[in-house]
Structure 1
Amino acid sequence: MSHLAPELTTERLRLRGYARDDFDWFDTTWQSEAVNRYIGGKPRTRAENWPRFLLNFGQWELFGYGYWLIEERKSGTRVGIAGLMHAMRDIAAIDAYPEAGWVLAETAAGKGYGTEAMRAILAWADATLDAPQTGCIIDPGNAASVNVAGKLGYRSTGMATYQDGEIETFARPRGGVPIAS
């Protein structure tokens, strides 16, 4: 079990650090076409997923924040990942701040888990980090994630080019007020 990420809990979820035995679930999730529809557009191979998995440990070590693995509290079922990272995407609107992100397994989509997990994470970030804001990027076609971002208090800051495509950038000031569900 990772000791770098603090455990967070919500009414329905447990957010915890990654452990080595989470990789098979992580790999299966990132090989899903539905999961990747708005994140790169194509499923990733096991060889591509291993460095992405390791990145989660390194973020915590280097920056004091990173991603959590999301589990349902009652069943212990892994349902997604969410957190903050320093991605160095060369996008001026977000590169100076922690970047928020959330990814849910196909079976967990549409249940409000992304919003619930990110509310806990942003409350932790507001209390713990010295960042004046957080940012995120979302494919403009991903209406579900745009909706989640709005509920979390993120507001659009415009469009940017990333990996030969256009993405929308968002910002949320520290202590930003989320919108009721």
Structure 2
Amino acid sequence: MGSPKATGVPVIETARTILRAHRLDDFDAYVARFIGGKPRTREESWMRFLRHAGLWSLIGYGFWAIEEKASGRFIGEAGFHDLKRDIEPSIDGVPEAGWALASEAHGRGLA
């Protein structure tokens, strides 16, 4: 089920996709995908999902859910985050771009 509350996340539409706020009904598709060759646990996926959904209200930018316009399916996410990485030189406060697409969306010119 989608969230009844306004999110403040801008919606971006292209010819084939809609970039929008994450919704609770995205989670099952979200937990099914994985990065780095191994699946995450449901708990790990939930924490990542919450982090991406909550960035907008805390820092004013974040990740969009990518919805395939023709089917309405969640097919990935893209956006910006600040992970407070402990690296040198520091990039603290600098938005990092990131994206991930479901395997069925690969090779279709979406990224």
* TM-score grouping bracket, smaller chain normalisation: 0.7 to 0.9
Greater share of residues in helix: 1
The C-alpha deviation readout for 1:15-38, integer Å capped at 9, x for no partner, is 0101111111110113xxxxx23x
Structure 1 residue ranges without an equivalent (≥5): 31-35, 115-181
Query: Residue 65 of structure 2: SS of its match in structure 1?
Result: strand
Highest RCO, 1 vs 2 (Cα 8 Å, sep ≥ 6): 2
Is 2:17 the counterpart of 1:20? no
- Cα deviation for residue 93 of structure 1 reads 5.7
Paired positions, count: 106
The alignment yields a C-alpha RMSD, in angstroms, of 1.6
Structure 2 residue ranges without an equivalent (≥5): none
Larger Rg: 1
State the identity %. Answer: 47
TM-score (norm 1): 0.54
State the match for 1:88 in structure 2. Answer: 84
Query: Residue 113 of structure 1: SS of its match in structure 2?
Result: coil
For 1:51-130, list aligned pairs within 5 A: 51-91=47-87, 92=89, 94-114=91-111
- Cα deviation for residue 79 of structure 1 reads 1.2
2:22, 2:65 within 8 Å by CA — same for their partners in 1? yes
Query: Residue 42 of structure 1: SS of its match in structure 2?
Result: coil
The C-alpha deviation readout for 1:23-75, integer Å capped at 9, x for no partner, is 11110113xxxxx23xxx42211011111111012211111111011011122
